[in-house]
Structure 1
Amino acid sequence: MTDNTPDAPDITPGPEERRPEQAAAVSRRRLLGAVGAGAAVAGAAVGVGGTVLARGGSSDAGGSGSGGTAKAQIVAFRDSHQAGIATPSQDRLCFATFDVTPGTTKDDLAELLKTWTAAAEAMALGKQVPGDAGDLNTPPDDTGEAVGLAPGNLTITIGYGPSLFDGRFGLAGRRPSALKVLPHLPKDNLDPDNSGGDLCVQACADDPQVAFHAVRNLRRLAFGTLVPRWMELGFGRTSSTTPQQATPRNLMGFKDGTRNIDGTDAALMGQHVWIGEEEPQRWARGGSYLVSRKIQMRLEQWDRDRLGDQQDVFGRFKSTGAPLTGKTEFDAPDFHAKSGGEYVIPTGAHIRLAAHENNNGLRILRRGYSYTDGIDPETGDLLGGLFFIAFMKSPDQFVTLQRILGRHDLLNEYIQHIGSGVFVTPPGLAAGQDWSGQLFG
């Protein structure tokens, strides 16, 4: 990729004199100078609600999106809502959080968010991060591992944690009203090294290398301004966000997310997911709140449990995904049905406790992934579980559900919440807008 913008006279220090932070600033200026053409192309590709737009091929979000024979697939970067929320769930995830480095100024952070916008938009189009590709005296503008790969329905979603709205950057007066650290919840055993963060980036794609490439390049551009806090790779989606997608299975072998909100249902999304007129901070309206939870599964213990007990834990048949009172996956569960004086769907079954019918209509949009951390060196047990991600109008929706699940869910015998995060994800960007101007106003 080449930059057709005429070069200005070079008054920057030579390679031997340039400090790393100076080199980063130069790279960012090149990137911003190359945004115009990419933004124009992106504007032509805008869809509705993060719609997948096909280029020369199918718009089916279930494709691999990688390799020379794959058909290029693009999800619109600019829209009224950020992509990666209502977008049909992709197969792979790279989720990372960052903290702002000490000494960083408001101007530093604002410049980085402009840079990130340009880079994210380019990568969503399947392009390299723009810049001067032929300058041998500076690092490449793109790390290069996604060259030749299709866009893979890449979405890049940004979020801001409660800690970003302290006194460091003049953002205290712009904190969304519901953005606060989650309270301690039943059964929490949270690792601080897998919790919190000033900012988060959720990159989803149908190709793991495309998703990782996106986060890697944003991290590279943030050198000197942000430091990574924690990161998670997801290798299998655990929910569907549209009825057209088949319901996936979690690592316990059960279908997960059968009753999830349909991301194409504007009424449900407006009622439960999108921040609305109730929010005093106008800039956050049309956004959502992201709650992440790293949930470790006791897989070895689960694998030794009898099938009948496994089904009672979830309240569903393992083979079909149907509720224990039904025959097919999408049959409505009958929470009143009894057999021999006992509820067919046990009182502690996950499906019963999480059901909106039993929680005053409360719902959230789930968008989680399975993960693995390898093997426990002491026990030899497999380490893995669910990286839970959900979007909602207020984090109180999650808190209310988790207080119930954490106390009564039969699943608690086999899981442990070990990581947590809460972030506000702003609305989508209009033409010519960037994340910097959106956040700082």
Structure 2
Amino acid sequence: MSGTPSGEPDTGVPEPNRVSRRGLFGLLGSGAVGLAVGGAGGAALATAAGAGNPGGSSSGAVPFRGAHQAGIVTPAQDRLHFASFQLLRGVDRAALIELLSDWTVAAEALTRGAELGAGGAASGPPLAPPSDTGEALGLGAAKLTLTFGFGRSLFETKDGEDRFGLAERLPAEFTELPAFAFDLLDSATTGGDLCIQACADDPQVAVHAIRNLSRIAMGRARIAWSQLGFGRTSSTSQSQDTPRNLFGFKDGTANVMAEDREGLAEHIWVPESHPQEWLRGGSYLVARKIAMTIETWDRASLSEQERIVGRTKGEGGPLSGGAEFDAPNFEAVSTAGGPAIATDAHVRLAHPEQNGGARMLRRGYNYVDGSNPLGQLGAGLFFISFQKDPATFVRVQQSLKADSMNEYLRHVGSGLWAIPRGISPGEYVGQALFTKSA
């Protein structure tokens, strides 16, 4: 049962296996719904939302519930649709819980490849909008994962306002990311109250998920900004080959992998000793939109590109010698007499040895947002990392101030979200945040 900060039960909040009236209106594609509408009423659509997709396949489904949220150590899928949401003015604590409950019902169905609502995309009343947009019909689950995060502004605004009675649940380490060297952040692609990371092996399945979750949020939250990604730039499982970024180099060779349980416990999952019970078993997500000056990079020589990265472009091995997964030797000397791996090479400055052993789980994607009138690609890396403490990312990013790769990069978007622990049966996303601590 959910509760207020004092532990008293909340009122007007739907049970986790029910879609609220506002969520129902969103599913039906209604117009703007007044915030006064709501309450605990609403049809029980858990069964309807989980109805099978007759044109699709149940294969390729990733379990939505578990000790940790899916989409973190899940083997990285090929496609991404990332969305940051802003809660609307007038939304209170009960409406926020109601939204998370509605999202939970829908997310569990979406990750099974099921249609939403009693009528789905094509079987509802002919004079009413379909309850599912339908563009994912026949595509199955496509290994869709939906990962939900809470921004710092959910707990306390920049003006110090505690909108939802959550300030006492704000983790001590959850501070805004500082300004980094060479940041050119656009406020239109920075921050957000909530985030949803949708990853799938089919781009239309990922887009369908965000589209429908946004409809369900109508009257309570809107998408502040979003990003499509293709071509994962990191592996999260030893079963996956290391992919390449748009500079043509293998990326994320030293990533924390799903099979490394000790590494995950040490670096990625918030420990059970954390004072905030709702965050135990969760993590922190950092997202950075990094524009690459592709045309300038393409004019650099192969030897210069390799010097900047610190690895060979073909094999991906460190310039100190060896194959891709061999540890870099930062003491090695080149035939010319200098360090084999330059002192300002990306590999050196980002390596755990140079950052007090700090490690992250990287889960980024390439992106191309068209081109400008000069014919230059609006392309780059949508960097995503998970770590148990935001200070890990801050330390590594500050180390990269001297990175020679900065000549070819522009950080134009940014965000930090706390990722609650996994969703147990009968719970909604982040339910422990709204209940009395154990």
TM-score, structure 2 as length reference: 0.86
Q: In the aligned structure 2, how far is the partner of 1:154 from the partner of 1:103?
A: 32
The runs of at least 4 consecutive aligned structure 1 residues that moved more than 4 Å come to 22-30, 36-39
Is the counterpart of residue 420 in structure 1 residue 414 in structure 2? yes
Q: In the aligned structure 2, how far is the partner of 1:351 from the partner of 1:185?
A: 19
- Tell me the equivalent position of 1:8: none
Kept in 2: contact 1:114–1:436 (CA 8 A): no
Q: CA shift at 1:130, angstroms?
A: 2.8
- Tell me the equivalent position of 1:237: 232
Kept in 2: contact 1:28–1:221 (CA 8 A): no
Q: In the aligned structure 1, how far is the partner of 2:115 from the partner of 2:35?
A: 19
Q: In the aligned structure 1, how far is the partner of 2:64 from the partner of 2:408?
A: 39
Q: In the aligned structure 1, how far is the partner of 2:143 from the partner of 2:41?
A: 28
- Tell me the equivalent position of 1:439: 433
Give the alignment partner of residue 355 of structure 1, picking from 321, 342, 351: 351
- Tell me the equivalent position of 1:21: 33
Q: CA shift at 1:320, angstroms?
A: 0.9
Give the alignment partner of residue 393 of structure 1, picking from 373, 381, 388: 388
Give the alignment partner of residue 120 of structure 1, picking from 107, 124, 130: 107
Q: CA shift at 1:136, angstroms?
A: 3.9
Q: In the aligned structure 2, how far is the partner of 1:102 from the partner of 1:27?
A: 18
Q: In the aligned structure 1, how far is the partner of 2:369 from the partner of 2:312?
A: 28
Kept in 2: contact 1:323–1:332 (CA 8 A): yes
Kept in 2: contact 1:24–1:223 (CA 8 A): no
- Tell me the equivalent position of 1:95: 82
Q: CA shift at 1:383, angstroms?
A: 1.1
Larger mean CA deviation between 349-358 and 202-211 belongs to 349-358
Q: CA shift at 1:436, angstroms?
A: 5.6
Q: In the aligned structure 1, how far is the partner of 2:205 from the partner of 2:212?
A: 11
**How has the CA–CA distance of structure 1 residues 29 and 89 changed in structure 2, closer, same or farther, with 3 Å as cutoff?**
farther
Kept in 1: contact 2:153–2:192 (CA 8 A): yes
Kept in 2: contact 1:24–1:221 (CA 8 A): no
- Tell me the equivalent position of 2:364: 368
Is the counterpart of residue 33 in structure 1 residue 27 in structure 2? no
Kept in 1: contact 2:277–2:432 (CA 8 A): no
Q: In the aligned structure 1, how far is the partner of 2:242 from the partner of 2:41?
A: 44
Q: Which aligned pairs between 1:35-54 and structure 2 lie closer than 5 A?
A: 35=46
- Tell me the equivalent position of 2:6: none
Q: Which aligned pairs between 1:69-108 and structure 2 lie closer than 5 A?
A: 72-108=59-95
Larger mean CA deviation between 340-349 and 152-161 belongs to 340-349
Q: CA shift at 1:107, angstroms?
A: 1.3
Q: CA shift at 1:181, angstroms?
A: 1.3
Q: In the aligned structure 1, how far is the partner of 2:427 from the partner of 2:418?
A: 18
Q: In the aligned structure 1, how far is the partner of 2:262 from the partner of 2:200?
A: 27
Q: CA shift at 1:170, angstroms?
A: 1.0
Aligned-residue sequence identity (percent) comes to 49
**How has the CA–CA distance of structure 1 residues 281 and 413 changed in structure 2, closer, same or farther, with 3 Å as cutoff?**
same
TM-score, structure 1 as length reference: 0.85
- Tell me the equivalent position of 2:260: 265
**How has the CA–CA distance of structure 1 residues 27 and 104 changed in structure 2, closer, same or farther, with 3 Å as cutoff?**
closer
Q: In the aligned structure 1, how far is the partner of 2:218 from the partner of 2:376?
A: 37
Kept in 2: contact 1:28–1:115 (CA 8 A): no
- Tell me the equivalent position of 1:196: 191
Q: CA shift at 1:260, angstroms?
A: 0.5
Give the alignment partner of residue 315 of structure 2, picking from 317, 320, 325: 320
**How has the CA–CA distance of structure 1 residues 320 and 343 changed in structure 2, closer, same or farther, with 3 Å as cutoff?**
same
- Tell me the equivalent position of 1:155: 145
Letter of the 2:132 partner, please give it. Answer: D
Letter of the 1:437 partner, please give it. Answer: Q
Is the counterpart of residue 408 in structure 1 residue 402 in structure 2? yes
Provide the secondary structure at the position in 1 that maps to 2:33.
helix
Provide the secondary structure at the position in 2 that maps to 1:268.
helix
Note the aligned Cα RMSD (angstroms).
Answer: 2.4
Kept in 2: contact 1:298–1:414 (CA 8 A): yes
